[in-house]
Each structure stands twice: as structure tokens, then as C-alpha cells.
Amino acid sequence: MRFEKIAPTQRLKPYVKYYAISENAEANTYKVLPSTGLVIGFQYQGQLSTINNSKETILSNAGISGVADTFKIFKNAASIGTILVYLTEVGLASFSTCPANELFNESISLTEIFDKHKISETEEKLYLATSDQSRIKVVEQFLLSQLKEIAQDKLIVNAVKLIYQHKGNIKIKEINEQLSISQSPFEKRFRRLVGVSAKKFSSIVRFNNVLSELSTEKSLSQICYDNNFFDQSHFIKDFKQHTGDTPESFKLF
């Protein structure tokens, strides 16, 4: 299996964290854990499916997955090749008018939010491309063709930064006070741009911080305490929702 990250061009850096080239010669079923950004995927060879309650659903060769608050199970066919575009937390708004919250926990075809002829043209170019560099160039051409000259919502960008700075352990009321905005308009703007409520986003950030700490020498009790969980049972319940596993079994794995 190959998974290689590539930085975007300067023009796209405000909207794209990085690209990834993912290839696997063998068929495989795997789990994807919750993350804080939307992901666009272009399969240039092979096929990808999701599995939910033992039901397999074949995905479009060009699709997008929204922010999720629980794990997802994916299955790839043998000899799959994919270009993944990891958007920044507010990146979607610069390419599409689709509210990010409408994609929450969803994996849909790109033709549902972009022109189907443009998607078809991009897929054809990817099929003909013969190198990583040429494939990335095709995807960047597509993104640049969809880029909208709009100002980013600095207040929401700053809210996202605050949540990261506190590793998800910050009350929404405190964010509202620091940014001088009332809760209702803030929540509407945050959900539309980021894809989830600020509270839910914070919980995903906290979960990912917990994941990073599992690889340290910290005990589970210390991780639970450091991340402001009320008690061990609350910590285990939250972790299981995000991963399907207990912290003990995940740490051993």
C-alpha cells in the first residue's frame, strides 16, 4: 500500500491542506476515524465502497465525504488508485455554495454539488494521466476552475483556531465572548462553513488529541483527566462512539 502526501500550490493553500495519493494492489476493508475537514476523492483506477450494517454501497469514482462524528468502514477493490484532496476546515465554501453541514456523515458523488460535465472531463483526464505529477495537475486544474473569489469568514477561521489551541477543551460560550458574537448567529455560520456545530467540532478535535496521546507513555486515566472528561465511563463511551473500540483495545492495537 502507498499513501503519499503532496502540498498544494500557493494559490490553493488557503483552501487545501494537502493532497494524498493512495494506492493499494490488494482488496482491503478498513476503518476511517473522524476528522475535522471534508475530503474530495478521485479514483483513477479501481473501485471504492462503504459498508454500513453489513450493506455494501459502491461509491462514485469522484466523491466527497463530509465531517463525521463516528468511524466509517470502507472497502477498496484490488489495484485501486485515488487522489484525495483534504480541504481546510472552511475550504469548501471557496469552491461550492453547498453548505458543509449538508454533507455531515455523508459520502456523495461530486456531481451533486459540481457540474457533471466538468466532473466527467476531469475523470477522463485522470484516466489518461500516467504519473502522480500529471494527476495532481489535473485535480488542481479542476479546483482552480471552481475557485470563487470570496473573502473567508475570519471570525469562523479564528473560532477554529481557538478550538485547536485548546485541544477541543473550550466552552462555546467562551468562544462567543472572545469573538464578541452571540451564540445563534455564530452557530449558523459555523455549521454552514465547517460542517458541524462548534460543540461537535470541539469533540472531534478533542478525540484526535486523545488519539495522539494514546501513543505516549500516559495512562488512560491521565489521558481522561487531561482531556477534561467527567469520568472514565464518559471517556470510554465517547471514544467508542468515535472508533467502535474501547481505549484499551485501541491502544493495544
Amino acid at 239: F
200, 166 contact by CB (below 8 A): no
Q: What angle do CA 72, 73, 77 make, to 5 degrees?
A: 140
- Sheet bearing 72-76, strands edge to edge: 28-32, 72-76, 48-52, 55-58
**pLDDT beneath 50, residues of the chain:** none
Q: What integer pLDDT is reported at residue 15 of this predicted model?
A: 97
In degrees rounded to 5, what are phi and psi of residue 26?
Answer: -110, 150
Rounded to whole angstroms, the Cα distance separating 95 from 227 reads 35
Kindly report each contact of residues 182-189 with a partner whose C-beta sits within 8 Å and lies 24 or more positions away, as own/partner: 186/155, 186/159, 189/153, 189/155, 189/156
First to last CA, the chain: 19
Q: How is residue 203 written as a grid cell? A: 469533540
List b or e across 91-119, with b for residues whose CB sees 16 or more CB atoms inside 10 angstroms.
bbbbbbebebbebbeebbebebbbeeeeb
Kindly report, residue by residue over 204-245, the tens digit of the pLDDT. 999 999 999 998 888 899 999 999 998 889 999 999 999 999
pLDDT at 105: 94
Angle at 107 between CA 106 and CA 112, to 5 degrees: 100
Write down the pLDDT at residue 248. 85
Whether the Cβ atoms of residue 63 and residue 109 lie closer than 8 Å to each other: yes
What's the grid cell of residue 237?
463511551
Q: Which 8-state DSSP code applies to residue 149? A: -
Say if CB 95 and CB 146 are below 8 A apart. Answer: yes
Report the pLDDT value the prediction gives residue 253, as an integer from 0 to 100.
53
